[in-house]
A = this chain, B = another copy of it.
Amino acid sequence: MNAVTSDLARQADQLSSDVVRPIPGSRKIHVAGSRPDLRVAMREVVLERTPTLFGGEDNPPLAVYDTSGPYTDPDVAIDLNRGLAPLRAQWIAERGDTVELDGPTSDYGRQREADPKLDAIRFANRPRPRRALPGTNVTQMHYARRGIVTPEMEYIAIRENQRLDALTDAGLLAQHPGQSFGAAIPMRITPEFVREEVARGRAIIPCNINHPESEPMIIGRNFLTKVNANIGNSAVSSGIAEEVEKLVWAIRWGADNVMDLSTGKHIHETREWIIRNSPVPVGTVPIYQALEKVGGVAEALTWEVFRDTLIEQAEQGVDYFTIHAGVLLRYVPLTAKRVTGIVSRGGSIMAKWCLAHHRESFLYEHFEEICEIMKAYDVAFSLGDGLRPGSIADANDAAQFAELETLGELTRIAWKHDVQTMVEGPGHVPMHLIKQNMDKQLAECGEAPFYTLGPLTTDIAPGYDHITSAIGAALIGWYGTAMLCYVTPKEHLGLPNKDDVREGLMAYRIAAHAADLAKGHPGAQARDNALSKARFEFRWQDQFNLGLDPERAMEYHDETMPKEAHKSAHFCSMCGPKFCSMRISQDVRDYAAENGLTDATALEAGMKAKAEEFRATGADVYNPL
């Protein structure tokens, strides 16, 4: 730890005490795997008994997928200045295929280490980087293809199952059959299934050997739909502490991954703080930093600068790189007549480079060398869609689809190197043109995971693009997209603050879950069922706690019915006690049960005689509490 207690260190200390607030009504549990150090963290929502009026039974706790990491574990002492414990360090070390380096091997990494002006903002507790031994390949895909089930794969199998066995026991697994458009989702995720999916490239496990703090997760169409949150500062906004705080809030609200899209000063140092404190995979767009290094002049970019940047970031622990290698020279004029041209930052940088040099980019030309770097650290590709449409008008056009074909070609090259690969997608697309994107991606890219931004289904709602895009995200997730990149209400207007991160994540957790329900993911409906049962039985607190954002639900409820007594009220503020359909429904249910009325015939037979009795007892419903 730095001897000088810098402002940043003080801010981090301060933050440490804020970010460990437990999630209401939940407790952290760990499900044991096959070895003592394989303990899969989940969040369990503890439920109340059903009130006697509604049957009086016990409700089993519900385990939910938990992205919040150790921050919500009361048994873990959080210290942002130290970073998280390296959960996977032993697994990585015992594979015996990596070497611990003395320090960064990139020129830039060494420069930053040596610069005393950075002492005050440098993350103090930096681990020494690792790299694959010469000639070895340390990607999860490489292991998978050799038939090895890694601890990461086993962790994921347990995590994805979300204790389905407990649900089966409790009879909570009943759900609608899904419509999965050709997905191959098993009833139960096994470690072997994880291995198979990674081996065939249909799923990726982003887990750089230099990010041992991350809890293994998987991105693939046959697993739960994931959500990515972008954070990062820019030249005109935000500092390091604020970005670390956004990270912690993002995972609390359900981000499965974060991308650090910083473009301002201290990109290198910001990234170190984020990775060391992140239990979720971290992605970047290395060309942003490379551009900073050449003074912001796209044409001045070189393979050498870019290559050094990849190594610099890989040794810090970035789990996936967005690389816009599909922007080919001949595609650029296809964008000239668009309404919004090229809207991807990376895409426009590369387009400019290609035009200026009149040749294919160094990303495309050196793609196999990039693969060599990726496999030395297990960094996954996120093949960037630099020519994605930035408006409804430009959706599904020649430029976009030409690039997608090239991304398919690059996927095959990456797979030749056993490098894990996902493919990025649009953008702005009206609803009826979304499926074509998914279908084409599956066909061109051999079912490599699709990772889409939205898509936004209309351009006319600046300030609400988390919603315009959640609609498209839900649809494309249903069709088969594996990870949804969130959009916040500030999209097109400014950089998101903490509140925007919350709004964006909630919209996207909804989209992802709606997609899982529609695909018929086993167990996906259990949480809906549990929450709806709680709602029907006026277990208010359970309804809040089972929701995606218990604190928000509680706050909204309290606005109308602030008193504590109302949280146990058997009616709600929308209708008041006399108009409560739930209460009346329970009367109907009780009546049917008492009279054995399970179908219409029985009703006809039994009801008339009981009508008088019901009239008498029914009046009870309206007794004021």
Contacts and interface: CB of A to CB of B under 8 A. Distances in A.
A263 interface: yes
Contacts of A532: 339-340, 390-393, 428, 459
Interface string A252-269: 000000000001100000
Interface string A573-584: 111111111101
A237 interface: yes
Task: Indicate how many identical chains form the complex.
Answer: 2
Contacts of A531: 459-460, 462
Interface of A is mostly: helix
A529 B333 contact: no
Contact of A574 (B174, B234, B525, B561): B234
Contacts of A339: 529, 532-533, 536
A57 interface: no
Contacts of A298: 584, 618
Interface string A353-368: 0011110000000000
A469 to B, nearest CB: 10
Given A333-B603, A358-B607, A471-B471, A509 B581 contact: no
A578 B299 contact: no
Interface in A563-601: 572-582, 584-589, 591-593, 597-600
A478 interface: yes
A549 to B, nearest CB: 6
Given A236-B576, A342-B584, A532-B392, A460 B513 contact: yes
Contact of A553 (B178, B462, B535, B581): B462
B236 A536 contact: no
A297 interface: yes
Given A528-B460, A581-B343, A618 B356 contact: yes
Interface residues of A, number: 148
A497 interface: yes
A3 interface: no
Interface stretch (A67-75, A198-206, A540-548): A540-548
A575 B514 contact: no
**Residue picked from A428, A548, A586, most chain B C-beta under 10 Å:** A548
Interface stretch (A87-95, A109-117, A132-140, A488-496): A488-496
A390 B532 CA distance: 8
A217 interface: no
21 contacts: A175-B393, A237-B573, A263-B575, A332-B603, A334-B600, A337-B598, A340-B535, A349-B581, A352-B618, A431-B518, A432-B517, A432-B520, A462-B544, A462-B547, A462-B556, A464-B552, A471-B471, A471-B510, A492-B543, A493-B573, A494-B556
Given A333-B592, A336-B598, A430-B518, 9 more contacts: A329-B607, A338-B585, A349-B581, A358-B611, A390-B536, A459-B529, A464-B506, A468-B510, A497-B559
